[in-house]
């Protein structure tokens, strides 16, 4: 794929920010990253090679933390991409904590008043000035509505949208440069990764969208007493202010507190995993940040969930491919497993299919004979990601996020109960869902939808064909042809043509020297002509040797 290099920045704030990024990266001894992203132009005089006593992964984590919200989120996203990032970097980037200094209460109150149209003391019966938590995008305060309902209020930090958009613009330019000038950028499609990251981050900046995520999950689990999703107070919610029911209970990581409640921890683990599987299999929409701090156990054993800024979506076709891939793995069929992974977009045109199938066969062989209770979802996920990394494959973003959530949800179950077997518990649920989606009733339902679609297409087909023929008659249709691999062929043809032209010039030179020698004769040469003839002879000889060497080198390649 040919990438067109986009022009660099002319906007002064972006240039200054780029210089700051280059300075921070270089200060942490990451000069190779500066060179590999096109930032070297902003750091020509900076010292390189600092901080070499610290591991590169640690230095990268420290640098991203220093660069602020966008780069912290970028590092957290990169920690989920085992297909792109070496293992030692995955572990270190996962340690990035999204925290920031508190925003003064006066600024928080100003944001609330601007968005809700009233002062804080008129919007809320009581509002705690001291935040419960403060992150790079916003901070959370405890409050009470006029009727006494306890709530939490998330307020976005001032200017965070403008700063994030500036950093996203820089990341887009860096990805464009790297894709055009580096081997890593050539092997991977960096621009779609940056675009997906930008989409996710912009969603986190929009609290209305986060409120809708919470509302969607709340409706989905309204009939499930084991899950509690806080309600959204839309009268007190805007793009910069989000007001939710306050969640109480005991954090799932507080094992002593859970024991005091007298609720079996195995039951809590099963509730948590069942909740995730229902999101994945039935909704195709899941909470994508299942770390222990986002789950609270209520006195009745139900689980309350918070923080809906990061969610994932898995389409129905992708779910189908994932289920079939799982069945292929259970049946020890590496060819079918590879086929499903190809269908998911894991293996593109760069993949060596035979080597890929062979590695999958080795992976399946390592687990042959083990019961499903002995398998670890996180371990299998790591090995699959390792195969993708070795083959320079690129997982679709939704699949990378899903694999991360699977590993984290298994980790949550093990925190609650070290003897919990994730796959053993999940397998009957997945099989039941598979049977339900492939039952006779479900088949008739899909057949009915397909028949309705075919009928609609039949009714629309004459009209669409008429429009197509009309455009063809008016000459409005254009045919765009995308070629793959012709660039190298064109280069080779150009080289061949150049060598042919040079050979013709060489032949003409030899003929000219022969004619001159025949007309003048060796004895009739003046000293001047003798030197000119000798110079022409040695030039032709060197030229001929060079042409022959070039042809030989091309033949060896």
* Mean pLDDT along residues 82-94: 81
Which pLDDT belongs to residue 240? 96
| Partners of 154 in beta bridges | 140, 242
Which pLDDT belongs to residue 4? 45
- Does the pLDDT at position 481 exceed 60? no
Q: Which of the two residues, 133 and 186, has the higher pLDDT score?
A: 133
Q: Over the stretch 415-441, which tens digit does the pLDDT of each residue have?
A: 888 888 888 888 888 778 777 765 545
- Does the pLDDT at position 295 exceed 80? yes
Q: What are phi and psi of 457, to 5 degrees?
A: -65, -40
Confidence of residue 171 (pLDDT cuts 50, 70, 90): very high
Average model confidence (pLDDT) across the chain: 80
Whole-model pTM: value is: 0.70
- Does the pLDDT at position 370 exceed 80? no
HEC-encoded secondary structure of 289-307: CCCHHHEEECCCCCEEECC
* Mean pLDDT along residues 43-63: 73
Confidence of residue 3 (pLDDT cuts 50, 70, 90): very low
| Partners of 251 in beta bridges | 296
Which pLDDT belongs to residue 187? 72
Which pLDDT belongs to residue 112? 96
- Does the pLDDT at position 459 exceed 80? no
Largest distance between two CA atoms of the chain: 120
Q: From CA 488, how far away is CA 465, in angstroms rounded?
A: 39
Which pLDDT belongs to residue 474? 66
For residue 31 the two structure tokens come to 């000069």
Q: CA 304, 283, 312, 303: dihedral to nearest 10 degrees?
A: 10
Q: From CA 156, how far away is CA 138, in angstroms rounded?
A: 4
Q: State the catalytic residue, choosing from 245, 289, 307, 359.
A: 289
The fraction of the chain above a pLDDT of 90, given in percent, is 23
Matching residue, tokens 């209770």: 373
- Does the pLDDT at position 325 exceed 60? yes
The fraction of the chain above a pLDDT of 70, given in percent, is 76
Domain ranges in the chain are 99-246, 250-438, 447-472, 492-556
Q: Which of the two residues, 42 and 56, has the higher pLDDT score?
A: 56
| Catalytic-residue membership of 307 | no
Quick check: helix, strand or coil at residue 404? helix
* Mean pLDDT along residues 325-338: 78
* Mean pLDDT along residues 446-468: 64
| Partners of 250 in beta bridges | 297
Q: Residues 433, 281: contact at Cβ < 8 Å?
A: yes
In this structure, of 23-27, 244-248, 272-276, 420-424, the range with the lowest mean pLDDT score is 420-424
Which residues in 70-164 belong to E strands, given as ranges?
Answer: 126-127, 133-134, 138-144, 150-156
* Mean pLDDT along residues 285-298: 85
* Mean pLDDT along residues 389-402: 75
The residues, ordered by sequence, that sit 6+ positions from 74 with a Cβ below 8 Å of its Cβ are 64, 171, 197
Q: Which of the two residues, 144 and 485, has the higher pLDDT score?
A: 144
Q: From CA 59, how far away is CA 62, in angstroms rounded?
A: 5
- 143-147, 311-315, 503-507, 518-522, range with greatest mean pLDDT: 143-147
**Burial label, 35 (beta-carbon count in 10 A; 0-12, 13-18, 19+):** middle
Q: From CA 57, how far away is CA 88, in angstroms rounded?
A: 7
Q: Write the Ramachandran bin of 303: left for phi over 0, alpha for psi from -120 to 50, otherwise beta.
A: beta
Q: How many residues does the chain have?
A: 557
- Does the pLDDT at position 480 exceed 50? yes
Matching residue, tokens 């390189």: 48
Question: Within 10 A of 184 (CB to CB), how many other CB atoms are there?
Answer: 12
Which pLDDT belongs to residue 207? 95
- Does the pLDDT at position 8 exceed 90? no
């Amino acid at each position: 794929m040919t990438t067109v290099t986009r022009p660099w920045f002319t906007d002064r704030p972006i240039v200054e920010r780029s210089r700051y990024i280059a300075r921070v990266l270089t200060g942490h001894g990451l000069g190779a990253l500066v060179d590999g992203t096109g930032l070297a132009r902003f750091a020509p005089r900076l010292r390189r090679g600092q901080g070499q006593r610290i591991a590169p992964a640690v230095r990268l984590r420290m640098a991203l933390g220093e660069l602020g919200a966008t780069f912290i989120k970028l590092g957290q996203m990169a920690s989920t991409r085992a297909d792109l990032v070496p293992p030692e970097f995955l572990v270190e980037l996962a340690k990035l904590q999204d925290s920031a200094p508190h925003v003064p209460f006066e600024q928080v109150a100003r944001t609330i008043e601007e968005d809700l149209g009233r002062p804080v003391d008129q919007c809320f019966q009581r509002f705690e000035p001291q935040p419960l938590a403060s992150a790079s995008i916003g901070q959370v305060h405890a409050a009470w509505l006029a009727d006494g309902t306890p709530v939490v209020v998330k307020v976005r930090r001032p200017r965070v949208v403008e700063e994030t958009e500036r950093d996203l613009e820089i990341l887009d330019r860096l990805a464009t440069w790297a894709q055009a000038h580096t081997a890593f950028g050539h092997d991977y499609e960096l621009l779609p990764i940056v675009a997906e990251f930008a989409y996710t981050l912009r969603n986190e900046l929009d609290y209305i969208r986060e409120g809708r995520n919470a509302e969607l999950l709340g409706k989905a689990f309204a009939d499930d007493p084991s899950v509690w999703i806080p309600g959204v107070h839309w009268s007190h919610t805007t793009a910069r202010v989000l007001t939710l029911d306050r969640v109480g209970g005991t954090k799932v990581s507080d094992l002593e507190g859970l024991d005091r409640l007298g609720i079996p921890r195995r039951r809590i683990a099963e509730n948590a995993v069942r909740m995730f599987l229902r999101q994945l299999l039935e909704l195709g929409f899941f909470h994508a940040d299942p770390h222990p701090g986002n789950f609270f156990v209520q006195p009745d054993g139900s689980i309350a969930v918070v923080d809906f800024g990061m969610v994932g979506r898995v389409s129905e076709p992708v779910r189908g491919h994932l289920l079939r891939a799982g069945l292929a793995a259970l049946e020890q069929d590496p060819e079918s497993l590879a086929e499903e992974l190809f269908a998911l977009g894991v293996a593109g045109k760069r993949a060596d299919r035979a080597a890929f199938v062979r590695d999958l066969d080795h992976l399946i062989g390592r687990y042959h004979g083990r019961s499903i209770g002995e398998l670890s979802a996180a371990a299998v996920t790591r090995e699959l990601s390792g195969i993708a990394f070795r083959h320079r494959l690129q997982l679709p973003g939704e699949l990378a996020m899903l694999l991360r959530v699977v590993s984290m949800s298994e980790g949550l179950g093990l925190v609650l109960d070290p003897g919990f077997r994730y796959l053993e518990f999940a397998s009957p649920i997945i099989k039941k869902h598979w049977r339900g989606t492939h039952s006779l009733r479900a088949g008739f339902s899909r057949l009915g939808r397909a028949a309705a679609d075919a009928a609609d297409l039949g009714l629309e087909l004459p009209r669409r064909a008429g429009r197509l023929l009309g455009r063809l008659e008016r000459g409005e249709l254009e045919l765009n042809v995308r070629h793959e691999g012709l660039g190298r062929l064109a280069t080779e043809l150009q080289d061949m043509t150049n060598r042919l032209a040079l050979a013709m010039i060489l032949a003409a030179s030899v003929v000219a020297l022969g004619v001159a020698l025949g007309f003048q004769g060796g004895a009739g040469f003046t000293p001047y002509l003798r030197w000119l003839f000798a110079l022409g002879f040695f030039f032709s000889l060197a030229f001929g040797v060079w042409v022959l060497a070039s042809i030989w080198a091309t033949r060896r390649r």
